[in-house]
Amino acid sequence: MDLIGWVIFIVALLFSVMLHETGHFVLAKRFGMKVTRYFVGFGPTLWSTRRGETEYGIKALPLGGFVKIVGMHSLDDPEDPADEPRSFRRKPAWQRIAVLCAGSFMHFLLAFLLIFGLALGVGIATDNTTQLGTISPCVAESSTALANGTCTKSDPASPAKQAGLRVGDTVTAFDGKPVSNWTQLGNAIRDSSPGSQVTITVRRDGRPVTLHTTLASISGRSGAYLGIAPAVLFQVPNPLRAVSYAGSTFGQVVTGSARAVAALPAALPKLFSKDRSSTPAGQVGSVVGAAEATGAAVAANVGWQYKVSFVLLLIASLNIFVGLVNMLPLLPMDGGHVAVIIYERIRAWLARLRGRPDPGLVDMAKLLPVSFSLFMVIIVVSVLLVLADVVNPVNLGGG
């Protein structure tokens, strides 16, 4: 099942790459630019075919893809001078910017459709329910052990286990007070005194069952401890609610991606530390870590809804992250080329105000050192993240 998860992730990644390049390709064609190559991957060519003026193919290394548009940069000269009028650089600035942004737009569109389809096809996950999804077997010796889900032979049985609670039970009352969601139930447990005896009323197989137990406490954790966690339920919304969910989830991923990028400088020194999971380094990872997470989710002993939800949200999040990073105003990313075009237009506008001729295109040869330096930084950071995910993976376990 781990292998199936890897295959799913790799196929999704290649599809995302193809979609990104298709965005550039379609819009460039739409604006009359000459596109000579459309390839997935880098390195030696495994297969290619020519249709009209464009060569389509697959390279040996599935690490990205590219579309070759004539005159994409000021350094590029068309093989045939007759192609110059159709070159990228001869088109209006807004068309060039649109073509550059089209790749990230396709990532964003795919992510939104995945989240929207997930809501309508599988449902929106909620854990604000009193149905039990986990019964802890013990009272962990500390909050750290609780977070890691570890028990020792000397740890006493949890109050939930002693009471006889079962996965699938729905708690309807705690110590005589009705509860209808996890917020109410969790607050009621935490507000109780450790060591106090309580009654728990549950609905089991359609019948009410009353159970009794004594609450415990865990070192480093405030409030009483019972040893339960809610089940994750999936509810299919109407289309309007699905759109709202997709929009809000998209926004949350954007915010999370921004935090991850901002935390990257602080995360790098901790990538290979033993406590990586509890540091900023635990919030960043590579495609290897994402593929591992996909494989673990597919292999997990959980319902199909959770598996599909996890995988689709992971793929959507990856597309949003890639789309955002690609639009950063840094060369060699598309956003860097957009910044260059905007600079050209501002420079041309200032020249007109002074009665001077348009300075024309930016000399990209002067920007090559900057572009190469940033490209090497991206490569080094990517390699470090991959190595960290291989030799020091993030512990995704929970309690």
Residues of the domain holding 152 = 132-231
For residue 79, is pLDDT > 70? Answer: no
Instruction: Average the pLDDT over 88-93 and give the result.
Output: 92
Distance in angstroms (rounded) separating the CA atoms of residues 205 and 248: 36
Say which range, 91-105, 122-136, 294-308, 329-343, has the weakest mean pLDDT: 294-308
Question: Is residue 67 one of the residues assigned to a domain?
Answer: no
Strands 170-174 and 197-204, by their bridges, are antiparallel
Residue 399: predicted pLDDT: 31
Question: Please, which pLDDT band fits residue 398 given cuts at 50, 70 and 90?
Answer: very low
Residue 250: predicted pLDDT: 95
For residue 397, is pLDDT > 50? Answer: no
Residues 191 and 314 occupy one common structural domain:
no
At 399, the amino acid letter reads: G
For residue 203, is pLDDT > 60? Answer: yes
Distance in angstroms (rounded) separating the CA atoms of residues 107 and 384: 25
State pLDDT tens for residues 103-158.
999 999 999 999 999 999 999 988 889 999 889 888 887 767 666 667 888 889 99
Among 62-76, 342-356, 358-372, the range with the most confident prediction by mean pLDDT is: 342-356
Distance in angstroms (rounded) separating the CA atoms of residues 187 and 194: 14
Question: Is residue 68 one of the residues assigned to a domain?
Answer: no
Residues 395 and 263 occupy one common structural domain:
yes
Active site residue 141: no
State pLDDT tens for residues 225-266.
999 989 888 889 999 999 999 999 999 999 988 888 888 888
Residues 136 and 269 occupy one common structural domain:
no
For residue 283, is pLDDT > 80? Answer: no
For residue 388, is pLDDT > 90? Answer: no
Residue 368: predicted pLDDT: 82
Choose one of 213, 231, 249: the last residue of a domain: 231
Q: Which CATH number is 174's domain given?
A: 2.30.42.10
Distance in angstroms (rounded) separating the CA atoms of residues 42 and 380: 18
Instruction: Average the pLDDT over 294-314 and give the result.
Output: 82
Residues 287 and 370 occupy one common structural domain:
yes
At 133, the amino acid letter reads: G
Say which range, 26-40, 61-75, 141-155, has the weakest mean pLDDT: 141-155
Choose one of 231, 250, 281: the last residue of a domain: 231
- Single out the catalytic residue among 21, 55, 79, 84: 21
Residues 353 and 207 occupy one common structural domain:
no
For residue 379, is pLDDT > 90? Answer: no
Are 351 and 358 within 8 A, CB to CB? yes
- Of 129, 134, 186, 142, give the one whose Cα is nearest residue 160: 134
Instruction: Average the pLDDT over 32-42 and give the result.
Output: 91
For residue 396, is pLDDT > 50? Answer: no
More confidently predicted of 384 and 195: 195
Residues 243 and 301 occupy one common structural domain:
yes
Are 35 and 69 within 8 A, CB to CB? yes
Choose one of 174, 209, 231: the last residue of a domain: 231
Say which range, 41-45, 53-57, 109-113, 218-222, has the weakest mean pLDDT: 218-222
**Ordered DSSP codes for 20-86:** HHHHHHHHHHHTT--EEEEEEEEEEEEEEEEETTEEEEEEEEEEEEEEEETTSSTT---SSGGGGGG
At 200, the amino acid letter reads: I
Residue 64: predicted pLDDT: 76
Distance in angstroms (rounded) separating the CA atoms of residues 68 and 66: 6
Tokens standing for 371?
Answer: 């572009």
Dihedral, 320, 321, 323, 326 alpha carbons, nearest 10? 170
For residue 289, is pLDDT > 60? Answer: yes
Mean pLDDT, the chain, rounded, equals 87
Distance in angstroms (rounded) separating the CA atoms of residues 24 and 268: 33
